Structure 1
Amino acid sequence: DASASELQWIVDSYMLVFAAVLLTAGALGDRFGRKKALTFGLLVFALGSGLSALADSSGMLIATRALMGAGGAFIMPSTLSILTAVFPAHERGKAIGIWAAVSGLGIVIGPVTGGWLVEHGDWSLVFLVNLPFVAAALLSGRWLVPESLDPAKPRLDGTGFALSSLGLGALVWAIIEAPARGWADGLILVAFAVAAVALGALIAWELRVREPMLDVRLFRNRRFSAASGAIAVAFFALFGTIFFLTQYLQSVLGYGAFESGLRVMPVAAGVVLGGPLSAKLVEHVGTKRVVGAGLALVAVGLTMLSGAEVGGGYGIVAAVLLVLGLGMGLTMAPATESVMGSLPLAKASVGSAVNDATRTMGGALGVAVLGSLLSSGYRAGMEGATQGLPAGAAETANQSLAGALAVAQRLGGGAGGRVSEAAQQAFVDGMHTAVLAGAAVAAAGALLTLLALPARAPLAEPAPA
């Protein structure tokens, strides 16, 4: 059996390697061909999935999940960059809207399917189920996906690759570990410092090298930088909310793991509706207003969630998720099109990698920051509830809602009931603080979007790759 730390890294090793490899993978796709990068990524992802299913130790599973992350880092930039290269400007918004809707479905369908497979079969099926989908993607891509690349065929930027991998990897590691170790922990501060130095060195290097992996001057372009910020804010809210909503559904409302997964589905429905709709709205009112409205809806949804209570029903959760998903759909597609439209098509893969990096950083920060706020509120609410309990039981109950419920079950009777009720109330109170903080971030993002993001793209169309 895996320890709690090993279980965390079975999940997080994917995200860590994915983030570290992203910009390098995007640049290699532009240089050698996006279809080749997609094919390579799918093969690596399939290899990692197969080895994960065969893993006989936690260490091996952590390593094979990291391999899957490396494959994913080649897949994600390639999919969006191929769309950008294939579709002309007047059709690109609709194509990206559909891409965003499918991405939103994946966020929810993956955990739901995985939960069902674990409950009704063996854990290895969670990885084996990937293989037929990868095979279908490889076979269909062979005939349906055209090749595209940077016609200039720039030299490889090895220094840029190394600095981006070190900087992004250290930053994601620090964000993941900070809630458990403490934001002021010495190792966390060192990791943040390493990330700052590496990313600062990357900027300095990319400004002076003749053929940069990523022209960092692009961040002066408000269409590029404001849209990237909007994407980060949206995923900050989404991932942070899903993180504690799952716990609320299971440990407060009493649903099982698979039932909880199903009840998160309205967010996917909202994204599916909002993604394609955003392209039509942009034609009428411009990108700025649509993205701003999307983030405002995210803020509204999170504010609504502050009305959820211990004895509440599922109705408010469903409404919140639908509003949140609709806001995500309205934000993701036009903001992504703005990022991709700011770049020459020859740099579509590395531009897509920047888009994926902002999503990853935003999501990781959402889980870390909002999760830390919830944990702080929970511990404050439990201060008086565990008095009189044995030291070990009190410490376990103060750490998490799941721990408190386990202690309550062992105690039984009135004492167990009191601990359970206090823990659920403390969790909900902490959740209220977290969602209101998330709503404030989303509202600030909406305001900054309205101030900084241009309403329309420039008339000139980048030269095709």
Structure 2
Amino acid sequence: MRTWGPLTAVCLGTFMLLLDVTIVVVALPDMARALHTSLSDLQWVIDGYALALAALLMGAGAAADVLGRRRVHVAGVVVFAAASLWCGLATGPGMLVAARAVQGVGAAAMLATTLPLLGSVYQGRQRSAALGVWGAVSGGAAAVGPVLGGLLTEGPGWRWIFFVNLPVSVAAVWLTLKVVPESRGARGTRIDWAGTVTFACFVGATTYAVVRAGSDGWTSTTTTGSFAFAALALAAFVLVERRVARPLLDLALLREPAFVGVMLGALAFNGAAFGVIPYLSIWMQTLLDMSPVRGGLTLLPMTGASVVVAILAGKLLHGVPARLTIGGGLLLIGSGGFCQAVLDAGAHWTVLVPGLVLVGIGVGLVSPALAGAALAAVPPERAGMAGGAVNTVRQLGYALGVAVFGTVLTSRMQDTVSHDAAHTLASGGAGALRGAVSEHTLRAAFASGLDTASVAAGVTGMVGGALVLALVRTPRAAAAAAPTPAEAATAPRA
């Protein structure tokens, strides 16, 4: 128990919080029918979770250093479980979105403390083995999410994708309190509350503006006002971080081209790889009449390829510069996006397989290398900060990807159907339009929207890859000397 107990406890929490990023994807059409949601509601079901996770991740890490990592981790699991119950009992879209945001708060506390807890328990070879298991669980959660979501949605119903978290949470809390020792950061650590609040306002307002642009237009008062508020929040964040003694993010790191390149690559990565998937799921289930289980299984070419490549890359590409694995992986993800832009009114999902496999290969190359590249690009005393920043930017990239590509999707659809019909179709309401609009027109509209969104994702991946190749020039020796993620997580925050 001493060897495996702490690892099991931490991995239970990690599996749940990462599972909930992808498990909702195949349940979106059923949610839409049950709760009568709009497209923006569905986007916020995804983005509410991802944004709360991104906005609070670095702040939660600092709080855990002060208050105790085990204490914050357990509190996060409890909040996550309570919010999961709330999600499952939701009676309307507003309630579900609010519950998902609270879920994200709990997930931030869990994810921010995962690696520090492992780093405080395991040393040497045991630490390497623990990180390997943790990495496999992380990848497995993303792979299992769509399939498990499909099984639960088609079986007991979509609410069970949230209820299933409850027994796992109970086990995680019990095991964590029993076998995981308490640990804290260096003395003198302070929580940057002002930085946390201003950063949260920035990411929230930015995403809200993009979502509103899809329904109100880019020049509407709501959209421009939200962008203006986001700009003010960003300016306030910069001012705060320049003045506080212990900032969430040391802005001096942004003078390092390699660090900037890794952050831009992380932002592009999650958006380009996963931002279109929710709309693919809606297309498959509402226009191709696929069941939730089949809809989840169609993503296996991508998730399977990513897991296999991640395992092989760890063994075969050791010592290869991160700029090549990350940059090359993003170029593959971009190519996969372009390969998916092949749909028409009569297309079947199998035409997506080559593109999905390419994206999966790219994900398998990029995901394991991002954290190490971020750590190699900064001084050792900033390692914990860099690890938190890269995870934050990844979640922000996913939230923005879902919002931006949803706006691109509906804008392109409006070349074929009306504004209202485009939003109804994208939110899973094809059944309500049948009779008023021909089946061929519905399929053609959705296919054209997906093609354009996939091209946008492809461009995002290509640009991200090019920026990484241009900016990340970390010497091989420095990369080899970079601390492991667990070492970084236990490094003092300065």
Query: Which of 413, 427, 443 in structure 1 is aligned with 2:446?
Result: 427
2: CA distance between counterparts of 1:21 and 1:40? 14
On the 8 A contact 1:370/1:437 being kept in 2, the answer is yes
2: CA distance between counterparts of 1:182 and 1:93? 50
1: CA distance between counterparts of 2:184 and 2:163? 32
Q: Compute the RMSD of aligned alpha carbons.
A: 3.2
CA deviation vs aligned residue, 1:149-175 (integer Å, no higher than 9, x gap): 321332333322332232233223323
Shift of 1:201: 1.9
Residue 380 of structure 1 corresponds to 415
Shift of 1:255: 1.4
CA deviation vs aligned residue, 1:423-450 (integer Å, no higher than 9, x gap): 2123223322322232222122212211
Query: Which of 463, 470, 479 in structure 2 is aligned with 1:451?
Result: 470
2: CA distance between counterparts of 1:224 and 1:91? 29
Residue 322 of structure 2 corresponds to 287
TM-score by length of 2: 0.80
Structure 1 residues 294 and 107: CA distance shift in structure 2, 3 A: same
Matched position secondary structure for 1:170: helix
Shift of 1:120: 1.8
Q: Verify: 1:13 aligned to 2:13, yes or no.
A: no
Larger deviation, residues 219-228 vs 401-410: 401-410
Residue 73 of structure 1 corresponds to 108
Q: How does 1:341-420 map to 2 (within 5 A)?
A: 341-342=376-377, 350-382=385-417, 396-401=420-425, 405-406=430-431, 409-411=434-436, 419-420=438-439
On the 8 A contact 2:211/2:404 being kept in 1, the answer is no
On the 8 A contact 2:412/2:448 being kept in 1, the answer is yes
Unaligned residue ranges in structure 2 (runs of 5+):
1-33
Matched position secondary structure for 2:290: coil
2: CA distance between counterparts of 1:166 and 1:436? 30
Aligned residue-pair number = 448
Matched position secondary structure for 2:414: helix
Structure 1 residues 351 and 364: CA distance shift in structure 2, 3 A: same
CA deviation vs aligned residue, 1:312-333 (integer Å, no higher than 9, x gap): 3443323322221120121111
2: CA distance between counterparts of 1:73 and 1:39? 12
Q: Which residue identity is paired with 2:288?
A: L
Residue 30 of structure 2 corresponds to none
Matched position secondary structure for 2:225: helix
Structure 1 residues 429 and 82: CA distance shift in structure 2, 3 A: same
On the 8 A contact 1:178/1:368 being kept in 2, the answer is no
Matched position secondary structure for 1:184: coil
Structure 1 residues 12 and 331: CA distance shift in structure 2, 3 A: closer
Residue 28 of structure 2 corresponds to none
Residue 364 of structure 2 corresponds to 329
On the 8 A contact 1:30/1:349 being kept in 2, the answer is no
Residue 390 of structure 1 corresponds to none
CA deviation vs aligned residue, 1:19-39 (integer Å, no higher than 9, x gap): 332332122123333333222
Q: Which residue identity is paired with 2:35?
A: A
Structure 1 residues 63 and 240: CA distance shift in structure 2, 3 A: closer
Matched position secondary structure for 1:283: coil
Residue 294 of structure 2 corresponds to 259
Residue 437 of structure 1 corresponds to 456
1: CA distance between counterparts of 2:349 and 2:170? 38
Q: Verify: 1:128 aligned to 2:166, yes or no.
A: no
Q: Which residue identity is paired with 1:424?
A: R
On the 8 A contact 2:275/2:405 being kept in 1, the answer is yes
Residue 157 of structure 1 corresponds to 192
Q: Which residue identity is paired with 2:85?
A: G
Shift of 1:286: 1.6
1: CA distance between counterparts of 2:242 and 2:454? 39
2: CA distance between counterparts of 1:222 and 1:84? 28
1: CA distance between counterparts of 2:472 and 2:130? 21
Structure 1 residues 447 and 51: CA distance shift in structure 2, 3 A: closer
Query: Which of 35, 39, 58 in structure 2 is aligned with 1:2?
Result: 35
Q: How does 1:12-411 map to 2 (within 5 A)?
A: 12-55=47-90, 59-83=94-118, 99=134, 101-142=136-177, 145=180, 147-342=182-377, 350-382=385-417, 396-401=420-425, 405-406=430-431, 409-411=434-436
Structure 1 residues 11 and 335: CA distance shift in structure 2, 3 A: closer
Shift of 1:267: 1.9
Shift of 1:121: 1.5
CA deviation vs aligned residue, 1:101-141 (integer Å, no higher than 9, x gap): 53343335334323332332244422220012222333443
2: CA distance between counterparts of 1:224 and 1:92? 26
Q: Which residue identity is paired with 2:49?
A: Y
CA deviation vs aligned residue, 1:404-426 (integer Å, no higher than 9, x gap): 84366335xxxx6xx21122123
On the 8 A contact 1:13/1:63 being kept in 2, the answer is yes
On the 8 A contact 2:50/2:396 being kept in 1, the answer is no
On the 8 A contact 2:65/2:189 being kept in 1, the answer is no
Larger deviation, residues 349-358 vs 281-290: 349-358
Shift of 1:334: 0.6
Structure 1 residues 94 and 319: CA distance shift in structure 2, 3 A: farther
On the 8 A contact 2:345/2:441 being kept in 1, the answer is no
Unaligned residue ranges in structure 1 (runs of 5+):
383-393
Percent of pairs with identical residues: 31
1: CA distance between counterparts of 2:129 and 2:276? 28
On the 8 A contact 2:84/2:99 being kept in 1, the answer is yes
